[in-house]
Amino acid sequence: MGKTTGFLEYERKNDPIRPEEERIGDFMEFHGDLNQKDRRKQAARCMDCGVPFCQSGSMLGGMASGCPLHNLVPETNDLVFRGRMEEAYNRLSITHSLPEFTSRVCPALCEAACTCGLHDEPVATKENEKAIVEFAYANGLVNEEAPTQRTGKKVAVVGSGPSGLAAALSLNRRGHEVTVYERRDRIGGLLRYGIPNMKLDKSVIDRRVDLMKEAGVKFVVNADIGKDIKAKDLEKNYDAVVLACGASNPRNIEATGRDAKGIYFAVDFLTEVTKSLLDNGFDHPPVDLVKGKDVIVIGGGDTGNDCVGSCIRLGAKSVKQLEMMPMPSCERLASNPWPQWPRVLKTDYGQEEAIYKFGTDPRIYQTTVKEFIKDKKGNLKEVVLVSLESKKDEATGRMMMVPVEGSEKKVTCQMVLIAAGFLGSEKYVTDAFGVELDGRTNVKTNPSEYASSKKNVYVCGDMHRGQSLVVWAIAEGQNAAREVDEALMGYSNL
């Protein structure tokens, strides 16, 4: 498999990245591509290990270890090493329907479980995957043809994020008539409006959607099911309905002064920025939203990082990012052994740009907002920060982050972006379909199944498992499609 000694001969070499001083001036993707010679060397580092944890997708220590799609990573890396890119794409396509998305935005669970990464840098599997799919697009290998025979069954998919697109793609290939309903003005869901363009260029979504349209998938935008269209009409007109609406109920920060002007949920902010850029062809970034403001981002995850990067591009005067948990270790702890997901400090692109722009890391750990302070016009002018410490809750026995008495500090701030995660599916959608929910307000199903409590209504993605990764959403969409297909046809070849 591959070059037996490749991991000993070649060091990891990442795709070139535009420098901070250049990339913060626009919203374009900033990752380049290695030449084919270097790409083959990176694939040669795949070490033919006895047990390829990279493709396992197992849950270890509460986190996934390896790819949830079970991509056969060593096989694709071997084909890239040998320069057989078309075969590499064919191999990847057997397990993965939308690699152009994960190869840009996935945190690379495969690399975190790479055997080579135990003592050295892991194989650059994510970038190899991007090279494969971009080669395929450039050479006309990514085709979606309308099925030669239709089954006569109709399926509605509600939501056009990664899980909805994956489900629709699979069901259409099987021969079912598929219609995707999206409440916003453009297709893509989280991919379109929850992820900034510099991380995922929206033309990447458009080219996939165009292929799906050519293959017969119907898309309906500005269609909010439960509001614009009744759920019972979908249940009446379709043989099955797949709910892929995401976990889009944002977690709020309940603090004094929350009604101040200038406080936004992160996804609403990112949506407004991306929509403005798309509407004006990227000619006029919406700098008026942020320019000259002191911004505080509440939340240390990927969405918070995306807010940091977006605010820098829009001319923020300063950006701080609050994280309620302690700063992670720079190296794995003994309690977090390989091949578990490494809970270590990661400095992402937004934080790198903040360090370049302002000279310091924007992250402030074990801190949250205690109070929002308004001026006479109701505009946010300051926030009161408070430090947090870990203490055991006597009633539950759980460790909790609680405020440190006397640690309050007042900070100038005209804009706050809340990126504190999500609380599950939105109530008006689940009420409209009358589906049973679990304790986290996700749609309830039997373990490892996708059928809801309502006949012929299925669920996948974040609406099913809670806020998660794009790769999990795609895996869920593919799996749900197989279950729907089997229910409609009595068997499935998906």
> Domain containing 427 — which CATH number?
3.50.50.60
Are 435 and 305 members of one domain?
Answer: no
Q: List the beta bridge partners of residue 250.
A: 422
Confidence (pLDDT) at 349: 97
Are 172 and 318 members of one domain?
Answer: no
Are 279 and 399 members of one domain?
Answer: yes
Q: Report yes or no on 144 lying in a domain.
A: no
Predicted TM-score of the model (pTM): 0.96
Q: Are strands 240-243 and 177-181 parallel, antiparallel or unpaired?
A: unpaired
Confidence (pLDDT) at 395: 83
Phi, psi of 306, deg, nearest 5: -60, -35
Are 414 and 427 members of one domain?
Answer: no
Domain range for 205 is 154-248+423-489
Asked if residue 372 lies in contact with residue 257, where contact means CB atoms within 8 angstroms, the answer is: yes
Rounded to the nearest 5 degrees, what angle is found at the Cα of 258, between the Cα atoms of 254 and 260? Answer: 170
Confidence (pLDDT) at 436: 97
Please say which residue of 369, 393, 418 terminates a domain.
Answer: 418
Alpha carbon distance 4, 54 (integer Å): 18
Are 274 and 299 members of one domain?
Answer: yes
Phi, psi of 366, deg, nearest 5: 50, 50
Confidence (pLDDT) at 2: 67
Q: Report yes or no on 41 lying in a domain.
A: yes
Are 130 and 277 members of one domain?
Answer: no
Are 48 and 116 members of one domain?
Answer: yes
String of b and e for 35-62 (b: at least 16 CB within 10 Å)?
eeeebbbbbbbbbeeeebbbbbbeebee
Confidence (pLDDT) at 1: 63
**Overall domain count for the chain:** 3
Are 325 and 408 members of one domain?
Answer: yes
Q: Walk along the chain (494 residues) and give the pLDDT tens digit of each residue.
A: 668 899 999 999 999 999 999 999 999 999 999 999 999 999 999 998 989 999 999 999 888 899 999 999 999 999 999 999 999 999 999 999 999 999 999 999 999 999 999 989 999 999 999 999 999 999 999 999 999 999 999 999 999 999 999 999 999 999 999 999 999 999 999 999 999 999 999 999 999 999 999 999 999 999 999 999 999 999 999 999 999 999 989 999 999 999 999 999 999 999 999 999 999 999 899 999 999 999 999 999 999 999 999 999 999 999 999 999 999 999 999 999 999 999 999 999 999 999 999 999 999 999 999 999 999 999 999 999 999 999 988 888 888 999 999 999 999 999 999 999 998 899 999 999 999 999 989 999 999 999 999 999 999 999 999 999 999 999 999 999 999 999 999 999 99
Are 343 and 445 members of one domain?
Answer: no
Are 427 and 470 members of one domain?
Answer: yes
Q: Report yes or no on 164 lying in a domain.
A: yes
The burial of 90, by beta-carbon neighbours within 10 Å (0-12 exposed, 13-18 middle, 19 or more buried), is given as middle
CA atoms within 13 A on the CB side of 377: 6
Alpha carbon distance 129, 125 (integer Å): 6
Are 122 and 174 members of one domain?
Answer: no
Q: Report yes or no on 26 lying in a domain.
A: yes
Confidence (pLDDT) at 63: 85
Local structure of 3: helix, strand or coil: coil
Q: Report yes or no on 258 lying in a domain.
A: no
Q: Report yes or no on 182 lying in a domain.
A: yes
Are 414 and 485 members of one domain?
Answer: no
Confidence (pLDDT) at 415: 98
